[in-house]
Chain A
Amino acid sequence: AQTVTQSQPEMSVQEAETVTLSCTYDTSESNYYLFWYKQPPSRQMILVIRQEAYKQQNATENRFSVNFQKAAKSFSLKISDSQLGDTAMYFCALNTNAGKSTFGDGTTLTVKP
């Protein structure tokens, strides 16, 4: 069975600053994929970034980057130059080729002006 844990229910950051959201996971599979999704108040979940476990290089998408520590089973999301539009709930997810993804409980991020 897979588990995903997000230990920070809520976080806040000042506009233009950097924030890091934490995620740890557990799986016995050697090949898997990790994701961060964003869910703004509009409710539409959007894929932010994806990491393949067999790749050591950390994924980057514009202002979003991850710190993937495979041995520690840690997958944190760093948001640089935070913008008001980044205010949302962020979910970490794990997919192990079984079809379904397992999601964490989410972190609510508020960007303050």
Chain B
Amino acid sequence: GAGVSQSPSNKVTEKGKDVELRCDPISGHTALYWYRQRLGQGLEFLIYFQGNSAPDKSGLPSDRFSAERTGESVSTLTIQRTQQEDSAVYLCASSLVRTGNYGYTFGSGTRLTVV
């Protein structure tokens, strides 16, 4: 696609429910990143994919968070048993170069609200 597409753009869920967030990167971009941005704050790294392997998942905050990627295509971030502290904007980005040295192209994010 022309850009990085994320869905849904907004999600309201009840505490304790599971949610799935989707990211469709730019075609041909081998690297894919998930970040979390709490209101008015910076970006917190969650996980990085190179192809469909995840060489760095050090930022996942707990075992309630998981992510997978199909080849060099769509990625899904799953949050199980959501908590109010999970409320944030979840940003996905992709990069043509494995190392991300030319910068990222970001999606518009998914705003998750846990009530």
Contact = CB atoms under 8 A, between A and B. Distances in A.
Interface residues of B, number: 28
Contacts of B102: 50
Given A33-B101, A100-B33, A44 B45 contact: no
Contacts of B100: 95, 99-101
Nearest to A96: B99
A44 B59 CA distance: 22
A35 B101 CA distance: 9
Interface stretch (A12-20, A70-78, A103-111): A103-111
B89 A43 contact: yes
24 contacts: A33-B101, A33-B103, A35-B103, A43-B89, A43-B109, A44-B106, A45-B91, A46-B106, A47-B103, A50-B103, A91-B42, A95-B99, A95-B101, A97-B99, A98-B56, A98-B99, A99-B55, A99-B56, A99-B100, A100-B45, A100-B48, A100-B100, A103-B42, A105-B41
Interface of B: 31, 33, 35, 41-43, 45, 48, 50, 55-56, 59, 89, 91, 93, 98-109, 111
